[in-house]
Amino acid sequence: MSRKLFGTDGIRGQVGEYPMTAEFALRLASAAAHVLAPQGGTVLIGKDTRVSGYMFESALEAGFVAAGMDVMLVGPLPTPGIAYLTRTLGADLGVVISASHNPYQDNGIKFFDREGGKLSDAIEAAIEARLESPAITRESSQLGRAKRIDNALLSYQNFCISTVSSGLRLDGLKIVVDCSHGAAYKVAPRVLTELGAEIVPIGCSPNGRNINDGCGSMKPELLQLTTTGVRADLGVALDGDGDRLLMADHTGALVDGDQLLWVLASAWQKSGELQGPVVGTLMSNFGLERGLGELGIEFLRARVGDRYVLELLRERGGRLGGETSGHLLCLDKTTTGDGLISALQVLSVVKNTGSRLADLVAGMPRYPQKLVNVRVAKKLDLDGSPPVQAAVLRAQQQLAGRGRVVLRPSGTEPVVRVMVEGDDRAEVERLTEELAETVRQAANA
């Protein structure tokens, strides 16, 4: 069965337009209950700070309760926190209401299984197929109940702290933390303060409409400016649902997911903690692959999407992987990508080595790389477009083995991502713009 609604990270869209309506959310809850817990059970529901979260929370609650499932509501909490609590509280599934790094006008719904892992493509397809049937409403004696969980944030906070060595203290570090006015706005500052850091919080005043607005990992310029402006040692930026991490060093230079993987992989190799290969994606900088290779660390590329990084890590027995965008997976710490936990691992390396973040990333070579997002009104068949394929072939021939060309439709946004990487920055920029223009023309044809 193929999936039409589920993308690489759940179902997303603009609020008020199909499928992001209250009526659809109720039917989705009913379908998920039928597929994942046909005999009843318990579901945990969390959300980020979007104003539409109230609507979808109520609709999902109604759908699950009508289908005979008990509902636990935890309110705003990072996506990885929902994965953790689903597992530890013994829920049969977890639900997150979030569109991650997208603007507040969008929202989304994604699921975790009882182990805190993402659902397989096959299970998501089965849920979609069930949507063709009417929503379930059981008789009164079989209806579920709903309750709010008051200590969820504290439980997740303590779990995050438990992922670093018991003696670790961040005293002496001044850290800017940007929570993107999103789900981590309470827990991230609390965790860093509990460990002794002096923090400068920004993006920690959500109003339902400012999530990801000019801040966070999608707009790290504010983090960079603030880090240098307050003379902090480094900065930490999360996205709206707290599963993505970017950092800034003391000079304000941005440190992306590839560089953070380098810091962790090289440190863990020295300490003996690294197991199996490191997994990146098609978009990972070639410098990361080359640098890890020089250290004798195997590097593998998965399809874009942290779920595919996770699959390859499990298949090959690895613990560490992630994306350039900052979705990092530390599988010896938790089951899914967690921006705050990933930040704590990097901060552990900073403290244990006594090095600045800028010095830790300096050893990784970086190839010039440019990414352009081309917005498209409808799905574009890249393989079936002769002009696009001809342009890709020309670019590959010009690079002549000195770089890479990657074109792929986004799984979360109506865009085609055009990326070129090579050893000559001017050539990379020129080829990227030429390819992007070809894709635009093909999309408008």
Rounded to 10 deg, the angle between the 79-88 and 152-162 helix axes is: 100
Q: In what order do the strands lie in the sheet with 11-14?
A: 11-14, 106-113, 93-97, 41-47, 69-76, 146-148
- Name residue 7's beta-bridge partners: 10
Q: In 3D, which of 420, 371, 370 has the Cα closest to residue 396?
A: 420
Question: Helix, strand, or coil here: 210?
Answer: coil
Beta carbons of 422 and 430 less than 8 angstroms apart: no
Q: What is the DSSP letter of 408?
A: E
Note whether 63 and 30 are within 8 A (CB). Answer: yes
Strands 320-322 and 278-281 turn out to be parallel
The two beta strands, 11-14 and 106-113, are antiparallel
Question: Is 166 an annotated catalytic residue?
Answer: no
Q: How far is CA 220 from the centre of its chain?
A: 16
Question: Of 52, 100, 217, 325, which one is the catalytic site residue?
Answer: 100
CB 260 within 8 A of CB 220: no
| Cα–Cα distance, 42 to 80 (Å, whole number) | 18
- Main-chain dihedrals φ then ψ at residue 416, nearest 5 degrees: -105, 125
User: Within 10 Å of residue 184's Cβ, how many Cβ atoms?
Assistant: 37
* 16 vs 252: CA distance, rounded Å: 39
Paired with 440 in beta bridges are none
Would you name the residues annotated as active-site residues? Answer: 100
